[in-house]
Amino acid sequence: MKNSSKYKRQYFLPPVECMDWAKKDYVEKAPVWCSVDLRDGNQALVIPMNLEQKIEFFKLLVKIGFKEIEVGFPAASETEYTFLRTLIEENLIPDDVTIQVLTQAREHIIKKTFEAVKGAKNVIVHVYNSTSLSQREQVFRKSKEEILQIAVEGAKLLKELTEEAGESYRFEYSPESFTGTEPEYALEVCNAVLEVWKPTKERKAIINLPVTVQHSMPHVYASQVEYMCKNLKYRENVVVSLHPHNDRGCGVADSEMGLLAGADRIEGTLFGNGERTGNVDIVTLALNMYSQGVEPNLDFTHMTDICEQYESFTGMKINERSPYSGALVFAAFSGSHQDAIAKGMHWLEEKKPEHWTVPYLPIDPTDLGRNYDADVIRINSQSGKGGVGYILETRFGLNLPAKMREAMGYTAKAVSDHTQKELLPEEIFELFKKTFENKVTPLSVCEVHFTQTEHGMDTEVTSSFNGKTVTTHASGNGRLDAVSNALKQAYDLQFELVTYQEHALEKSSSSRAIAYVGIQKPDKTLAWGAGIHADIIHASIDALVTAINNR
């Protein structure tokens, strides 16, 4: 990259230091949300939405809980005009939802916009003109004073037409390209507009400070916002709104810091759709608040459904790593992460704490309609005992001894490594059964009889090894020990019975039990077996035989 000298920083700092926002550490209260999916989002699509898709998208936004929705730029396109008329004429706008329409500060466009909203109950007319240095010089070739006049004339016309129509529409003004505008000048323009509107407590005005193009780090924007919040006239009757785009990837940071700086409202889109790198992603912003215990007043409980609808309406794809919404954002493949999550989940079950603090999961996936089995613990060659054990336990009710989990973890890892594939829960269960359950070759036990003695247990075991059948007598301190001794004796086997565990099977069978047996070989390594049977003695002998066959 040899051309960096071609670029310069294109933002302006406020004339005084505005860093009070930096003393706060989180957003304490949800802002007013305004979705601009149907305007900013739609205008950025390769193929803009058709009428039917827009109507369905509007219904989705209402269902999520948006109370302010920018429905388009009705003077700019026939589809947007028809869409708006359909919403109004077919009574599709709930009483508690306000529609917002965008217009440039130009007379004929403003007039057409007013025609388009006739009959709507709650309306915000959003007027804008561009104020940045580069737009003033290059696009409009107008002085500061002339640009200010465009804003003031637009504001006056909004007021006049509203009064003429006998309506009480609310007004919004955006100094477009605010972040490339000198803050003192942006303030002068906004205050001139407010002077026209004279907002009241009952009819507040919205001053929207767009990051039309992101030029700076988020703390610079926060300082600009703080400067505006501290110096706007009629501040108590002004809703300060933010509209961050995402050119530097800081849309969420701009919004969060801007809210700390005093803003009250956010304009953004679902999943950050919008011009170029998009608008701020409201899903992330809202769920960031949620994960810190602040109610966002938007409902994302059915995230998968929302994602599917969004993708079908817009033709866009949600990135698998998109915060909170991406398919892989709760997935843990790494062994150490899985282990920590599995332990965290056990802790949760055991202690029932008031707050969610499970490691590696910033929020509970089930709050978004996702589930632990399918979305969280995922097994591939990076995974380990914790994840595999967690799946066998939670999905199939198998509580393996710790060391056996390790063995099963290595088995799963090796298969995934070899096949270069993720293993699904069912495949893990099948692998467990194939590797560790009721293996009867080369050794199998045909018949067993026990006699209780004064010192323990005597047994008579008929077994077969590679097709040759023998009957052996032995004793032990319990049934399994006695059978183990009989088998050692019959085939001169060298091992020690070191682990025995059993439990009822609740998930895969109601009346059976599972026994796990670990034997230690002369080289001190372990071999494992499991047996499943209605009779626990039978299950434990099957587990022992399997462990011997797995030596």
* Both structure tokens of 550: 């797995």
How many chain residues touch Zn ion (CB under 5 A)?
1
Strand ranges in 341-442 using DSSP code E only, listed in sequence order: none
Task: Please tell me the count of residues contacting ligand KIV according to CB under 6 A.
Answer: 10
Query: By CB under 6 A, is residue 246 in contact with ligand KIV?
Result: no
CB of 358 to ligand KIV, least distance (A): 38
Q: Which of Zn ion, ligand KIV, none does residue 539 bind (CB under 5 to 8 Å by kind)?
A: none
Whole-number Å distance between alpha carbons of 304 and 325 = 8
- What is the rounded (10 degree) CA torsion for 362, 365, 367, 373? -150
305 is an annotated ligand-binding site residue: no
- With CB cut-offs between 5 and 8 Å by kind, which of Zn ion, ligand KIV, none does residue 437 bind? none
Residues 90-149 binding ligand KIV (CB under 6 A) are 102, 128
Q: Which of 12, 34, 40, 290 binds ligand KIV (CB under 6 A)?
A: 40
| CA proximity to 42, closest of 13, 69, 71, 81 | 71
* 418 labeled part of a ligand binding site: no
> Do 551 and 519 contact (CB within 8 A), yes or no?
yes
Q: How far is the CB of 211 from Zn ion (least distance, A)?
A: 8
Structure tokens at 393: 């336990």
The alpha carbon of residue 87 and the mean position of all alpha carbons in its chain are separated, in whole angstroms, by 31
Collapsing DSSP states into helix, strand and coil, what is residue 392?
Answer: helix
Interface segment toward ligand KIV; rule CB under 6 A; list 14-22, 157-165, 208-216, 368-376: 208-216
Alpha helical stretches, state H, 166-245:
183-197, 218-231
128 binds, among ligand KIV, Zn ion, none (CB under 5 to 8 A by kind): ligand KIV
Q: Is residue 503 annotated as involved in ligand binding?
A: no
Annotation-wise, does 126 bind a ligand? Answer: no
Among 37, 70, 80, 176, binds ligand KIV (CB under 6 A): 176
- Residue 324 makes CB contacts below 8 A (sequence gap 6+) with 283, 284, 287, 300, 303, 363, 368
| Strand order through the sheet with 468-476 | 443-452, 457-465, 468-476
Q: Determine if 80 is a binding residue for ligand KIV (CB under 6 A).
A: no
Q: Which of 103, 132, 162, 212 binds ligand KIV (CB under 6 A)?
A: 212
Asked whether the beta carbons of 272 and 287 are under 8 A apart, the reply is no
- Residue 40 touches Zn ion, criterion: CB under 5 A: yes
Residue 186, SS3 per DSSP: helix
Residue 124 dihedral angles phi and psi, to the nearest 5°: -110, 125
Query: Which among 34-42, 328-336, 362-370, 437-445 is the span making contact with Zn ion, rule CB under 5 A?
Result: 34-42
Q: Is 154 in the site for ligand KIV (CB under 6 A)?
A: no
CA distances from 266 to 105, 161, 165, 239 (A): 22, 27, 29, 10
CB 280 within 8 A of CB 246: yes
Specify the stretch interacting with ligand KIV by CB under 6 A; choose among 204-212, 300-308, 393-401, 420-428: 204-212
Q: Which does 54 bind (CB under 5 to 8 A by kind): ligand KIV, Zn ion, none?
A: none
* Residue numbers at the binding site for ligand KIV (CB under 6 A): 40, 102, 128, 174, 176, 208, 210, 212, 243, 245
Binding-site members for Mg(2+) are 40, 243, 245, 279
* Residue numbers at the binding site for Zn ion (CB under 5 A): 40
